Structure 1
Amino acid sequence: MRNTVLALCLLGASSISAQFKVNANLPSDFQVDDAYLFAYDGSKDILLGKGAKKGNSLSISVPKSYKGMLRLVLFPSNNSIQMASENQDINLTVDKVENKAIKQVTFLDTANKYFETSQNGQKKKELIYPALLQIKDYYKPTDAFYSALEKEIATLSSSPETGGNFPFINYYNETASKYVNNPDYKNIPLQEYSDFIVKSGSFLETSSLLKPILISYLNTAGKDNINADIDKLLKNVDIETPRGQTVLSELIDIFDTYGMADMKDKYLKEAKELKCTINDRLASTIRGQEELQIGAKLPDSKLYNTYNTKAKSISDVKADHKVIIVWSSTCSHCTAELPKIIEKYQALKSKKIEVIGLSIDADLKSYSDLASKFPWVSAADGKGWYSEYAKNYNVHATPTYFILDSSNKIVAKPDQLSQVFEYFNLK
């Protein structure tokens, strides 16, 4: 993206189980070893089902009722296909693949045909509408083209398309248009954001829009009164309720992602001091933060596709200290910083320090091309941002560093490579 209440949010309050399937037609030469279907709880992934390619087809059954956004992820190519569920069968065809990347998908079911059409209209509104407004200034009302511009501007500025047969898709379109993709979102009163979050139904969790809405709220609030505005929001949503706890969890994750340590610590402390029963979402956030704080023992991970070691896990690697680096070959900061470690590697080894590079590359060849040149321990599971390493270590960006002692306790969490060298007094 992982409580009875949460299940109701995700699967709907209906007591009748309504099974549906996601069916995909794939090119014969497109390799798919595993396929995972994810739903959403806010911005977190919820695994709904798994499947594998048989011939040219792939089918995943969903045994419970679900209306919301879905994401189909295909390995080993690590392609991701977004779609909307109205609790009906979803059918699609992958029409075009280039260099293992899916370039064109055609949806065959009515709901996603409608969703795709409405989303294309929204993209035109986001990209073309501002340009048309600027172009209009260069024409006079008496010009023939001026009338055409006004007509297209009026079309693009209208409310998003809605239809009575697609309640989730209509909710998604209206919500995204107003609170996420609206160029004037900062003119929406903070109280209106807050009231919407409180009163919105269970589609808010399954839409994947909660985090973007909260970011819009924070950007609208600005820096001057940010703490007071967050406190007002949390008071309104009531953090003793499941919705309030999910909002609190999302905010903690946002602050962590953007390096706002003081804010993260403040609201994490508030979450840990709650006396009521907390939902799984917030419990997971608290647990994840506690497991990665200085003084905690780093959660162990298996090592896959390794270089320079026969160890099967991080704990199997023996050293007085370990420098853990979560990286990717597609990360420019990583490819700039990692070669600098080569210059210091023998000095690190002389101090009984081992470097362990955990790649979140989706392409194992790209990983190998770099890892084979490094003298330290390297590993990758080939699942990109769905990697065990990204999940276990709450990685929002690469490179991410941890320094461990001999018992695998976290003794430092440097923000950059220079701080790693400083910790070990290496110039």
Structure 2
Amino acid sequence: MIKKLLFLFLLISSISYAQYTIKGSMSPKIETDWVILYRLEGTKQIFVNNAIIKTDSIIIGGNKQAVSSFEIPLPSSAKPGAYRATYKLQDAGFVDFFFNKEDVTFIFNPEYPQQSIAFAASSENKMYADFISDISNEQQKLDSIQVAVLKNPTLDLTKDYQKSLKKVDSIQAIYEKIAADKYIAPFIKASARTNPPEMFTSVNAYLDNVSNTFFDGLDFSSQSLRNSSFLTNRILDYIFYINYAEDDKEQQELHKKSIKTILSKIDDEAYKRDIIQFIIEQFEETKNLEIIDYLYENHYNKLPVALQDAKYKKEKLALFAIEVGRIAPDFSWKEKGNNLKLSTLNDAEYYVLVFWSTSCSHCLREIPQLHTYMKTKPNMKVIAFALENDAMVWETYAKNNLKDWHNILGLNKWENEIARTYQVYSTPTYLVLDKNKKIIAKPNVIKDVKAFLEKL
């Protein structure tokens, strides 16, 4: 009896601690030491594990090749879902795959990870890869027929189109059926394109149909789709590729319209917040302030207060506080017994705001040049903000050399609150403002200042 109980205990223990393995190989090999495994949840990456990348030799196409490989164990309690193996923190150095209680083995080219990944183990990943290949090949045939007719509406390709359309629908139906009880089922279903029963002869009608039906097969309430890159990739495609215009003004309006369409399809307010933040981060890369402001004013600020993150919003807006096009952050100072404020200053058409210091050799070379040059610009004024640890040297220098400027003392130098607001990390730092205190330029050196002011 005791032996039976001991055997049962050991059996249960071995099952509960059983592990799955994620094995990856990169060919050609790379000079990277670590790979990090994440599980995707919404728009976030949750750390799971990491592993050392080793150099191995494998046979590829009958030839022996050196590859970089890694092996990451997963416990039996690991959640099914979309996972990401990251081997470079920049330049899209990662591969995404599904895990559903089975070992996963794959090989890929680290320069083209998603396009080249091939699975040696994992029935679900193999099936999904086969589906993507089969449906993409037939969809491309269907699209080529449609494009041919758009180029030449006199072509009679109706039978070819109907035959290809039937094949696309058949492939979709077959894979939806065989994947019905698998984790990848919602991904296969969501991949279905809404192809029209008949071809379009108008390019605009065709493009309108693509845009209007783009989200037809997507279920924004699906946790599986949310916890992957599937939905976010579709969102990026819709914003940046499906809704495209060559005219900048028209493009901005299309961005706003596409964002509004996407957010209207999301009922879960918490997930909507995450998607808004995700979209904001995409427009950060191009510093598209108009769209970032639109997202905050028209969407983020209208979320339930409990879901808004004041700290997140403050930090994000602070990143762009001094970008060209922004109104310069306001500040006050005393000058000749008067209280002055940047926002209400009205003694010039343009202003040069310069952060400088008497302890900065570059400043002591450029500030006199700026002073001499500005004497030729009567409609412009300099606001000289000196970052100092004490007032003594500055008072003497400004009094003797910069009498006709607005001179401001900023104590605590790099820790000065205004300097931090303006993200001043070196001196001199120049900004050119119009009469409304909108930032219109951020020249790097005195030569650039002069060149820009000459254009005004």
TM-score by length of 2: 0.49
Find the aligned partners of 2:168 and 2:430 in 1 and give their Cα distance: 54
Deviations along 1:195-247, whole A, 9 cap, x unmatched? Answer: 942xx2211322213334445666679977986886686577457x3222223
Deviations along 1:119-148, whole A, 9 cap, x unmatched? Answer: 11233144332124456889878xxxx978
Aligned residue pairs: how many? 302
For residue 230 of structure 2, what is the aligned residue in structure 1? 209
Which stretch of structure 1 is more off in the superposition, 225-234 or 57-66?
A: 225-234
Find the aligned partners of 1:17 and 1:213 in 2 and give their Cα distance: 38
Q: State the AA in 2 paired with 1:202.
A: Q
1:36-75 pair list within 5 angstroms: 36-54=36-54, 56=56, 57-63=69-75, 65-75=78-88
Q: Does 1:112 find its partner at 2:125?
A: yes
SS in 2 for 1:94: strand
1:226-245 pair list within 5 angstroms: 234=263, 237=266, 241-245=269-273
Q: State the AA in 2 paired with 1:123.
A: S
1:275-286 pair list within 5 angstroms: 276-278=305-307, 286=313
C-alpha deviation, 1:117, in angstroms: 0.7
1:350-365 pair list within 5 angstroms: 351=366
SS in 2 for 1:177: coil
Find the aligned partners of 1:249 and 1:147 in 2 and give their Cα distance: 46
Q: Is the 8 A contact 2:41 2:227 kept in 1?
A: yes
Identity %: 12
Q: Is the 8 A contact 1:24 1:59 kept in 2?
A: yes
Structure 1 spans left out of the alignment, 5+ residues: 1-15, 297-318, 322-345, 353-401
Deviations along 1:10-53, whole A, 9 cap, x unmatched? Answer: xxxxxx99964311245696544111223334444443321113
C-alpha deviation, 1:275, in angstroms: 5.5
For residue 136 of structure 2, what is the aligned residue in structure 1? 123
Residue 288 and residue 105 in structure 1: after superposition, are their counterparts in 2 closer, same or farther (change >3 A)? same
Find the aligned partners of 2:320 and 2:286 in 1 and give their Cα distance: 17
1:158-237 pair list within 5 angstroms: 158=170, 160=172, 161-162=175-176, 163-164=178-179, 167-178=182-193, 184-188=209-213, 196-197=219-220, 200-215=221-236, 234=263, 237=266
Residue 155 and residue 34 in structure 1: after superposition, are their counterparts in 2 closer, same or farther (change >3 A)? same
For residue 24 of structure 2, what is the aligned residue in structure 1? 24
Q: State the AA in 1 paired with 2:73.
A: S
Q: Is the 8 A contact 1:90 1:112 kept in 2?
A: no
C-alpha deviation, 1:258, in angstroms: 5.8
TM-score by length of 1: 0.52
For residue 263 of structure 1, what is the aligned residue in structure 2? 291
1:397-412 pair list within 5 angstroms: 404-406=423-425
Deviations along 1:273-330, whole A, 9 cap, x unmatched? Answer: 7554338xx678536514513269xxxxxxxxxxxxxxxxxxxxxx967xxxxxxxxx
Q: State the AA in 1 paired with 2:184.
A: I
Residue 68 and residue 179 in structure 1: after superposition, are their counterparts in 2 closer, same or farther (change >3 A)? farther
Structure 2 spans left out of the alignment, 5+ residues: 1-15, 57-68, 196-205, 245-249, 324-353, 368-420, 433-439, 452-456
SS in 2 for 1:21: strand
Higher relative contact order (CA 8 A, sep 6+): 1
Q: Given the alignment, which residue of 232, 256, 274 partners 1:246?
A: 274
Residue 153 and residue 235 in structure 1: after superposition, are their counterparts in 2 closer, same or farther (change >3 A)? closer
